[in-house]
Structure 1
Amino acid sequence: MKVLKVIAALIYFIIFAGLISLHAQDLSFSQPINFLPAAHTDKAIDITNFKGGYFVTWKDAGSTGNIHVSYIGNQNSTNFSANEATAGNEESAYAPVFRVVNNHIYALWLSTDGSLKYMINNSDTSFNTESIHTLSFNTPAKLRSGITASTVDGRLVIASHTDSKYDMAIAVIDADDNGILKPADLQTIPGKKSGEYPFVVTLSTNIIRICYKSSSDQGVYYSDFDPVAKTWSADVRVGKSKTQVSPAVYHSFNTTRLFYIWKGYKQDNHLYYATETEQGRPNNERVLPDFFTTTNPVSICTVDDKKFILAFVGMDKKLYLSYFTNYNPARWMEDFLFPAKGNLTLKDIVIPGSHDAGMSALNGTGGAQAGSINPCNTLTQTQNIGSQLNAGLRMFDLRVGKYKNQFYIKHSSSDCMGDAIGGGYGERFNDILDSVKTFLDHHKKEFIILTFSHFCPTEASASNVADSIVSVLGKDHIYNNKGKSIDQIKLNDLAGKVLIAFEKYSYPDKMIDSNSMADAGKTFLNFRRKYAATNQITNLVAAEEQFFTSMKDGVSKNDLIRLDWQLTQSSEEAALVCNDFQNEDLNPVINSVMLLTNVIKKNQSITDLAISGNKYIIAKVNEWIKAGIINKNNKPNIVYVDAAGAWITDYCIQLNSKPVYN
């Protein structure tokens, strides 16, 4: 099929990459997702970045299979359809690869007759699949097992395995003005034996490094080739590595740092990796979690100096992607704000925020229509607050209610659940406070903002909630402003603390102070924000653009500007969406109305709306900054979203490096 509909998967990858942020030593990564559901292969896949857009290539499963290439969009894309094409009737027994050389992107593969074939892109998003070329070698040769490619001095480098049992080969190839590859010399790599093809990467010194599995002890080795002197360095083993297939080596994060990654030996299908600078010897191998398992080599594609993408074929022959960063989101403030920005204030930076933050689970329902409440019309987040803290979220919007004689986070149509049409209870409040305390105990440079609103005096009054907070967190963890305004509080003062603000309520000693949400307010903290109250992205974008335009000349000293980016269900949708239509507590007429409403209007859950809406935020904010709609006077201090995760932390880190924040 020419166009694969992969909207949900690509949103999770491109926009929500890092949604579940895990950590292994010096790298953080997201849980892998199957991003092209219709594709299957039994060989490696390759992914590459071409002018900010991403391409993937693979062969069909089987002894031989057709060659596929698919453009899957760019990082800030709002159009999530994959443009897939097949290389005519071409087939291969081995994995195809990409390589970007100058302004061309090549898709290369080994044909069934052992020749090397390729096609070239005809736009930034597609290939000329009707023009298949064959690379000629000056001495006829057949290649097998697979190929990898790199560039050196603007020339293509390919590495492969010859038709003999243990010999590997390398070629440096020129291209004409149209990108057509010229005949080349294929050189057998002397003194190095492997039953598999090697991976190739070019070092910053224009020395070519191959990484391969030794045929003698199955270890992962590398060796360097000087293409001018035509000499090879001695072999170096990567730690105590041992593998069954070709090990991969890539530059990661657009630096001189190299990333070696390989599958385990024999039946061990876990992925192991080691990282080191080009001149360093990688010894400290690490293993990725169980969901990174494969029988094939993997592919890496650099996004920028902080991120790369890892692509691999799962045990089910499906295509998976994971998003890697070279920083830990749990300590991003320590890494990116301190000490350089320690003397700035909250008004000078931007942090990621979580709307209705404790609603990642539904532990109870209430209100007159409690039976119509379900995860689809109540849940706003996909991770609990402990996980959100580790994913880098630092501002949390919380509403507390009482359920079964305990405090829980609530989401309802009224401040008091007894007066509400319906509502739900999410995470247990003490669990949240314990998570905050534990997090701050382990991260002395991070700080957190907790805001509370929608108090119901008969359920959970502001004073009772405040007492509970102080009792669990203790005064050492809570920031006391001692009468300072928000523009006077330095980030250094906040490190290791939680700043707490209640809607129109102050604790007697100011450990908890008051906040408001208005065009102007005399509280300790006033949030300037615009809640669009819409389920249409065009309405949301228009409302936020007008909001920032209205503040172009600046705001008051106690204002923090909050970019509220939520799509919300209409009241009709919230009452009817996502029920199973067989609820015994509701009469058949209501069940029938629910069914009809969902079928006709294609209603979406809150998190569905968030997933569809959040994909626009990066592109629009970048556009507004470029156009001057967002400037130094009105820049957002909190980016406040549903379905929050490390993806929004990553974007806030990018924003903090932009001129409007410096």
Structure 2
Amino acid sequence: MTSLLALAVLAEYSGTLVVINQTPYTWEQTYVHSYQMNEWTFPQSIPPGETANIAVGFATGTGVTVSDDGGEVTFTFLDGFDNPWSFQLQARAPSDNLNIQAYMQTLSAANNPQGSTIPLGFLTTGLFGSGSSVFILSQFDDSPFYTNNPPTAWMQSMVSYLGFLTLRNICMPGSHDAGMSSIDGSTAGVTNSDAITQTNSIGGQLAFGSRYFDIRPVISSGIFKTGHYSQESTGIWAGANGQTMSSLIGEINAFTGDNAELIILNLSHDLNTDSGYVSFTSSDWTNLFQQMLEIEHLFVAPNPTTVDLSTMRLEQFIGNGEAAVVVVVQSSVGESTIGSYASSGFYPYGAFDVYNSYINTDNANTMMNDQFTKLAQQRQSPDDPLFLLSWILEQSVADIVGSDSILDLALTAYPMLFAELFNYATQNSYPNILYIDNIHNADVTALALAVNNFAQNI
């Protein structure tokens, strides 16, 4: 929600509502009404597979009672048994806080019963930036409907109808620099703007639905932590430490105690900041693995030293009703680092080989074109190797000087993912990991579920 107390001089606060229909049904508009909304116009119908970008304009300004702004639009559709289903999208501004919400009129979805209201928010990119919201509804065959606010254990909820799919066939959210929701020590001059990539710790990201985690282990003051470091052209290392491995392990265990989900931890960019910023030795890795054995539900494949985890079915990981945690190791020392830990749930990168190629840019359109071009090249079949859609913007010198933080850049790129993904994805070419900074709600999980349903609605 966005407070308008400081915006009294404006005549309008506008933005976009992205509406994604990944159900097999055409939605027909059956009712629309608005009061004091400058923009609130919807298409008469939204066909299956379509994404509609709706302009939304709240009236503001001198003499305007912003809390009176409001709009409603109802969409109705018939399912395969001619049962009518309807939901209503609503614009509201209680106490001058702008919000879009979805009211489940006769429709129910997983974790969202009939009669419930789902806050969609109106995410903004600064005081005078445009707002954005997204509403997603998807279904495959006789599965439940899925929408925003999906089940916390969303993988478990789909095992019964998509558990036969391999991980190459499945899409999931992923967290870039997952441990960097806070700073626990840094080099000189590094600030939150330069190092913070997430606003929630691992536990919060798990609760919002992220299942693939970029974990960059460092040693700092003799303790294993997560980190975010880079070596500058001068050879000097700059960066910061984030969440400790101890707290990360505790939050994973707390989550898997209640949620039988598949979790993938990708360890890379190892760095010993206590010893001149060198890579881990074999001994360092052994000590880290020993600590990580405290993770509960570590998954051991039947043939752990030769397995290709991406070709295993989802039901083989969590079909027994228990969580599965996979630790993938990208070690500078090589695969021999894992040693006997291969039989304890630790795997070389080749066992879960993900195409991960980002572009170093702070321009969202440049990043988008790069990633969708690579997607089309790398994924031409659902059984092709795993593809990570790196929806990440990198700070430039101008961004750092101008105080545009990593989180600011993430906020710029975020709405485009929803607006554009289904303009490029096909049932043969879709990403396996939606990889972003700032996992701040479950909308990306709803999008991943929509991809999964879309890929099967043949």
| TM-score, L = length of structure 1 | 0.48
Q: 3-state DSSP class of the match of 1:397?
A: strand
Q: CA deviation at 1:509?
A: 4.5
Deviation at 1:409, TM superposition (A): 0.5
Aligned to 1:333: 155
RMSD of aligned C-alpha atoms?
4.4
Asked whether the 8 Å contact 2:215–2:268 carries over to 1, the reply is: yes
SS of 1:443's equivalent in the other structure is coil
Aligned counterpart for 2:392 among listed residues 541, 560, 566: 566
Q: CA-to-partner distance for each residue in 1:332-384, whole Å, 9 max, x for gaps?
A: 1122x21111121110110000000000001111xxxx221010001111111
Q: CA 1:638–1:436 in 2, change beyond 3 Å: closer, same or farther?
A: same
1:459-505 CA-partner distances (Å, limit 9, x unpaired): 753332222211x115x433435232224322112221111100143
Q: Compute the displacement of 1:639 (Å).
A: 0.7
Partner amino acid, structure 1, of 2:404: Q
In structure 1, C-alpha distance between the alignment counterparts of 2:19 and 2:206, rounded to whole Å: 33
What is the CA distance between 1:303 and its match in structure 2? 4.6
CA contact (8 A) 2:173 2:211 kept: yes
**Aligned equivalents of 1:621, 1:97: Cα separation in 2:** 29
1:423 lines up with 2:239 in the alignment: yes
Is the 8 Å Cα contact of residues 165 and 314 (structure 2) preserved in structure 1? Answer: yes
Which residue in 1 is equivalent to 2:2? Answer: 34
- Find the counterpart in structure 2 of residue 108 from structure 1: none
- How far has the Cα of 1:251 moved from its partner? 9.0
Match for residue 477 of structure 1?
A: 298
> In structure 2, what is the Cα distance between the partners aligned to 1:277 and 1:81?
26
Query: What corresponds to 1:605 in structure 2?
Result: 405
The letter for the 2-side match of 1:400 is: P
3-state DSSP of counterpart to 1:357: coil
Choose which of 490, 495, 502 in structure 1 pairs with 2:329.
Answer: 502
1:450 is aligned to 2:265 = yes
Which of 434, 438, 447 is the matching residue for 1:643?
Answer: 438
Give the letter aligned to residue 193 of structure 2.
C
Question: How much has 1:560 moved relative to structure 2?
Answer: 1.4
Contact 1:358 1:409 in 2 (8 A): yes
Q: Is contact 2:391–2:434 with CA below 8 Å preserved after alignment? A: yes
Which amino acid letter does the alignment assign opposite residue 455 of structure 1?
A: D
Q: Which residue of 1 aligns with 2:104?
A: 253
Q: Tell me if 1:357 matches 2:191.
A: no
Q: Any idea what the Cα deviations from partners look like across 1:124-181, whole Å, max 9, x if unmatched?
A: xxxxxxxxxxxxxxxxxxxxxxxxxxx9xxxxxxxxxxxxxxxxxxxxxxxxxxxxxx
CA distance in 1, matches of 2:107, 2:55: 33
Partner of 2:45: none
- Of Structure 1 and Structure 2, the greater helix share is in 2
- Paired residue for 1:624? 424
1:388 aligned to which of 195, 201, 205: 205
**Which of 279, 289, 302 in structure 2 is aligned with 1:466?**
289
Unaligned 5+ segments in structure 1 are 1-32, 41-48, 59-67, 103-150, 152-203, 207-249, 259-274, 283-287, 289-300, 307-323, 516-522, 578-597
Alignment of 1:231-630 (within 5 A): 252-255=103-106, 303=135, 328-335=150-157, 337-365=158-186, 370-414=187-231, 420-444=236-260, 446-456=261-271, 460=280, 461-470=284-293, 472-474=294-296, 476-480=297-301, 482=303, 483-495=306-318, 496-503=323-330, 504-505=334-335, 506-510=338-342, 511-515=345-349, 523-554=350-381, 559-570=385-396, 572-573=397-398, 577=400, 598=401, 602-625=402-425, 630=426
* CA distance in structure 1 between the partners assigned to 2:256 and 2:114 by the alignment: 33
Distance 2:136 2:383 in 1: 36
Letter in 2 for 1:343: F
* More relative contact order, 1 or 2 (CA 8 Å, 6+ apart): 2
| SS in structure 2 of the partner of residue 330 of structure 1 | coil
Query: Following TM superposition, by how much is the alpha carbon of 1:548 offset from its aligned partner in structure 2, in angstroms?
Result: 1.9
Computing the radius of gyration over CA atoms, which structure comes out larger, 1 or 2? 1
CA distance in 2, matches of 1:432, 1:51: 35
Query: 1:507 and 1:615 mapped to 2: Cα distance?
Result: 43
Alignment partner for residue 653 of structure 1, among 420, 444, 449?
Answer: 449
Native 8 Å contact 1:410 1:425 kept in 2: yes
SS in 1 for 2:393: coil
Q: Mark the CA change 1:402 to 1:620 in structure 2 (over 3 Å): closer, same or farther.
A: same
Q: Deviations over 1:481-535 (max 9, x none)?
A: 52322243221122211111001433425221111xxxxxxx2221112211111
Letter in 1 for 2:285: A
Q: Deviations over 1:190-211 (max 9, x none)?
A: xxxxxxxxxxxxxx799xxxxx
Hey, what's the Cα distance between the residues in 1 that align with 2:72 and 2:375?
42
C-alpha distance 462-79 of structure 1, shift in aligned 2 (>3 A): farther
Matching residue of 1:519:
none
Distance 1:355 1:407 in 2: 19
Q: Structure 1 residues 325 and 542, CA, compared in 2 at 3 Å: closer, same or farther?
A: closer
Question: In structure 2, what residue type is equivalent to 1:635?
Answer: Y
Distance change >3 Å, CA 422–CA 99, structure 1 → 2: closer
1:412–1:78: structure 2 CA closer, same or farther, 3 Å change rule? farther
- Write the distance in 2 (CA, Å) between the matches of 1:560 and 1:552: 8
For residues 230 and 102 of structure 2, the distance between their equivalents in structure 1, rounded to whole angstroms, comes to: 52
Give the Cα separation in 2 of the matches to 1:100 and 1:480: 50
For the Cα contact (< 8 Å) 1:69–1:84, is it kept in 2? Answer: yes
Matches within 5 A, 1:158-173: none
Deviations 1:437-462 (A, max 9, x none): 12112112x11000000123657533
Task: Check 1:304–1:436 CA distance in 2 against 1; reply closer, same or farther (3 A cut).
Answer: closer
| 1:640 to 1:57, Cα distance in 2 relative to 1, 3 A | same
Instruction: Tell me the equivalent position of 2:11.
Output: none
Deviation string for 1:239-263 (max 9, x for gaps)? Answer: xxxxxxxxxxx993252569xxxxx
